Chain A
Amino acid sequence: MSNNGAYPIVTVRIQRFNPDTDKKPYLQEFQVELKPGTTVLDALHEIKAHQDGSVTFRRSCRHAICGSCAMNVNGKNELVCKAPLKERLDRKGRVTIRPLPYLPIVKDLVVDRSSFWEQYQRVKPWLVPPENIPEKEFRMSPEEVAALRNAETCIMCGACYSSCQIIALTKEYIGPHALLKAFMRVMDPRDAIPGERLADLAGGDGVYRCRTIFNCIDACPKGLNPTEAIETLRKLAQKRQAFEAARAERQKRLSEPIPSP
């Protein structure tokens, strides 16, 4: 590639695989200029635009909010749109990009997330509100909202899911992403079926499958903690009836102002 010497040249190794034509995945090397501020996604774009348009990956928002671009960079899952290329280079000026592990490859860096979405849907990600809907909003205290923050900002990128050792073994496991979503619904004072949810989550494919290996925490690009959520769900599942009763009590006051402390 042309280089007027202004910027150093670095090597981007991309795992390529088109199941229609390739027997197995292989690594291909590309060279790009390391301009200041270049992200790993920028490098992929540069390669696709000017060197090989068939290099295939997902992306959209390019600022870590849409969840499209989770990939495996140098062995670690992350969002490439917020990964500074410079910081990902080894001593020889190389970076290696592969698709998220443990998932079928659609093409190059694009994986098939079907099992991921099936599990997401299985936990009924939607709120089931109580029967009496107030005229205005349900009242929730700032603390009740804060308790959901660990889950509410999840962008469903799949970085945790495809770093999970249990998922590597079986796609029957609900998975950290869907358990985090379930946690969000269980903890929400507006949800009317926490007991039913906990019963399901305590089943064979649920919270007890987690071996607290903590990979999901390391992988989460949003700094969330699925393991902690799973542990909370386990505890709640053990005192499910008491929790349900407390929820029913709380729901009696859902349209009343939160008293000042």
Chain B
Amino acid sequence: MDHNTIVHDIVIVGAGLAGSWAATVAAREGVRNVAVLSKVHPLRSHSGAAQGGIAAALNNVRPVPGSGPEGPLEQLPEGADPVDSVELHIFDTIKGSDWLGDQDAIEIMCREAVDVLYEYEHMGCVFSRTPDGRIAQRRFGGHSAPRANYAADWTGHVLLHTIYEQALRHGVKFHSEWYCLDLIVEDNVCRGVVAMDILTGKVYTLRAKAVMFATGGYGRAYKITSNALANTGDGVAIAYNAGIPLMDMEFVQFHPTGLYKHGILMSEACRGEGGYLLNKNLERFMQRYAPGKMELAPRDLVSRSEQREIDEGRGIGEDGQGIWLDLRHLGREKILERLPQVREIAINFVGVDPIEDLVPIQPTAHYSMGCIPTDVNGQVLADANGAPVVGFYAAGEVACVSVHGANRLGTNSLLDASVFGRRAGHAMAQFVQSGAVLPPVAGDPAERNRRRLCSLLDNPGSELVEDIAVDLKTTMTNNCGIFRHAEGLKQALADIQALKARFKRARVMDKSSRFNTDLLAALELEHMLTFSEVIAATALARDESRGAHYRTDFPQRDDSRWLVHTVAHKNGEDGPRLSFKPVTINWEKYPPQERKY
């Protein structure tokens, strides 16, 4: 084997919760050579930015009896009746998904949630506590019991540090600051990946018996987003280009409380702890949209309600695009204890202390419900019939199992990444240990990718990468946002075609091989152009409204035609070819209902 090739038993791309869980489990189950690639240092992965909590029906707290739906919580007295159950978590998730989530997968996630939480705790994760020492819980949108387990408002940070430590403990090898460029799949067998060591600019073929993508989400395709700058959906585009289909791409979650003009998240915990949303008349407008759940209705509904208020002229701020978040009544003590990070963010970025003032917010692109289709063991599926791509796995935000269907509930994604990351790690270990061989690789994939990089670097073009990126984000925000309609979506498709043409003339300013982040920005833009087209195309195809996908020209849910997953296949240079996959539904237990809050 030549010096351009590296061999591992398992290669995992992505070191967030999903990737680090999978690596830890595979290594502790005895796989010797497990490697994780991450384009940022593992601890910089976006999972660490998660704030509010991770769901599991632990039954550690309950609402003070008789205090109503917004009343205070207390620790569940020993021997008292539980207020929560796995069944309730399952039902809330199904309803939250607008019946597009696969119910077998949801059931697995909610059942294993309890065990995953205790495992995190036993690994040393520092959770907030009830007075008697159990993991503290708070309310979250769309959950009918307080089941968001938290560490103040830096839950993702403590979870990520904990699982990364475990991966180190079990001898996982990390290729930190390596950028995955390509996935090698032939004849439905995955053979490895191609990646660049960012530091040196050298490109390698990494061969493995099993490969996993845990590359996270793509919020950066939108102008206003809660996502880190690294969240450019690379894995989504790389997989698609390698012939892997993408599922349910039309479902993009907009979080109701991004900091006005910045998009930085003000955790849903703000509302979970009792915060209000107010329009410019200081009215708690959720009364008109979800009188039962108010601010704690699911995100799709709250974001739409905010956008309605804004569109009807009741927004705040210089451009009228904002809404107020009111935390003042929570009081100094509660804010300092439970929401210290969001307070600091508000002070740092908009100069407002939530203890004393209203915080300006607006909806922000937050989460990708769709992406790479997998089964409940992280096994990637090649088509709508469920044929496997041998040796290829995915979990976390880049995967679509699908547990979130058309809309994810808050705190369910840290859970999804953990549960299915863990399962994928186990599945890969079994696969490797049951005699999987290193599949051969034809040709020289590293060389192919080197040529692609050279052609980008040598392009004398006149277009700046950033200008194309801004135009992409603008059309995605305007046309593939909270409210969509056929005309706008067609416009987005036309815009993206034009932007792809402009990308052919994109100029990379940095010509060096060492730590070339300018080149990475160009690659990331190319990736965003690739999957954005799929978002627009699938959103145009789905002529109904469900969960986060709202068509003003088709405002009703249409179960007779659309109780299906959209599966998009790459089709040469033409737009994607679509096929459809039935949703797994337990018709006796959880038949589709009208979704009201």
Is B truly associated with A? yes
The answer on a CB contact under 8 Å between A257 and B132 is yes
B503-533 contact mask (Cβ, 8 Å, vs A): 1 or 0: 0000011111111111001000000000000
Q: Is B578 an interface residue (CB 8 A)?
A: no
List B contacts of A53 (CB < 8 A): 465, 508-510, 518, 521
Among B123, B229, B348, B349, contact of A59 (Cβ-Cβ < 8 Å) = B229
B124 and A54 contacting across the interface, CB-CB below 8 Å? no
Which residues of chain A are within 8 angstroms of B508 by Cβ–Cβ distance? 53
A52 within 8 A of B: yes
At the interface with chain B, which of A7-15, A135-143, A162-170, A198-206? A135-143
Partner of B118, one of A66, A106, A121, A137: A137
| B49 in contact (CB, < 8 A) | yes
Contact A37 B518 (CB under 8 A): no
Instruction: Determine which residue in A137, A153, A184 has the highest number of CB atoms from chain B within 10 A of its CB, and name it.
Output: A137
CA distance A142 to B567 in the complex (A): 47
What string of 1s and 0s marks CB contacts (under 8 Å) between B484-519 and chain A?
000000000000000000000000111111111110
Asked whether B134 lies within 8 Å of A139 as measured between CB atoms, the reply is yes
Taking CB atoms, residues of chain B closer than 8 Å to A215 are none
A260 close to chain B: CB less than 8 A: yes
Which residues of the partner chain A approach B262 to less than 8 Å between Cβ atoms?
Answer: 37
Q: Are A126 and B40 CB-contacts (below 8 A) given A60-B229, A121-B168?
A: no
Chain B proximity mask over A195-218: 1 for CB below 8 Å, otherwise 0: 000000000000000000000000
**B341 proximity list for chain A (CB < 8 A):** 65
| A67 / chain B contacts, CB cutoff of 8 Å | 43-44
Chain B interface size range: 35 or more
Do A62 and B228 touch (CB < 8 A)?
Answer: yes
- Name the B residues within 8 Å of A136 (CB-CB): 58, 118, 134
Residue of B at shortest CB range from A83?
A: B348
Q: How large is the interface on A (under 10, 10 to 19, 20 to 34, 35 or more residues)?
A: 35 or more
Q: Is the CB of A65 within 8 A of B518?
A: no
A137 touches B48 (CB 8 A): no
* Residue interface mask A118-154, B partner, CB < 8 A = 1: 0001001111010001011111111011001000110
Q: How many A-B pairs fall under 8 Å by CB?
A: 167
Report B434 CB to chain A, min CB distance, Å: 29
Contacts of A113 in B (CB 8 A): 41
A243-261 interface code vs B (CB 8 A; 1 in, 0 out): 0000000000000011010
A125 in contact with B126 (CB, 8 Å): no
Output the least CB separation between A181 and chain B (Å). 9
Contacts of A62 in B (CB 8 A): 228-229, 264
Report B-chain residues with C-beta under 8 Å of the C-beta of A27: none
A152–B166 alpha-carbon span in the complex (Å):
16
Do residues B44 and A68 form an inter-chain contact, with CB atoms below 8 A? yes
**Shortest CB distance A29–B (Å):** 17
Chain B residues, Cβ within 8 Å of A57: 517
Query: For the complex, is B154 an interface residue (Cβ under 8 Å from A)?
Result: yes
Task: Assess whether A188 is interfacial by the CB under 8 Å rule.
Answer: yes
Query: Of A37, A60, A142, A153, which is within 8 A of B40 by CB?
Result: A60
Q: Which residue of A lies closest to B44 (CB)?
A: A66
Instruction: Give the distance to chain A from B231, nearest Cβ to Cβ, in Å.
Output: 8
How far does the Cβ of A100 sit from chain B's closest Cβ, in whole Å? Answer: 14
A191 to B123 alpha-carbon distance, docked (Å): 10
Closest 6 CB pairs of A and B: A127-B124, A53-B509, A139-B133, A49-B466, A54-B510, A53-B518
Sampled A-B contacts (23; CB under 8 Å): A18-B514, A20-B513, A20-B514, A37-B262, A50-B464, A50-B466, A52-B509, A54-B518, A61-B49, A63-B265, A66-B45, A66-B49, A67-B43, A68-B41, A125-B168, A126-B124, A129-B124, A135-B118, A136-B58, A141-B129, A142-B131, A145-B128, A260-B131
Give me the interface of B with A, judged by CB distance under 8 Å. 40-41, 43-46, 48-49, 58, 78, 117-118, 121-124, 126-135, 151, 154, 157-158, 161-162, 165-166, 168-169, 199, 228-230, 261-262, 264-265, 341, 344-345, 348-350, 464-466, 508-518, 521
* Residues of chain A having any CB pair with chain B under 8 Å: 18-21, 37, 48-50, 52-54, 56-68, 82, 106-107, 110, 113, 121, 124-127, 129, 133, 135-142, 144-145, 148, 152-153, 155-156, 184-185, 188, 190-191, 257-258, 260
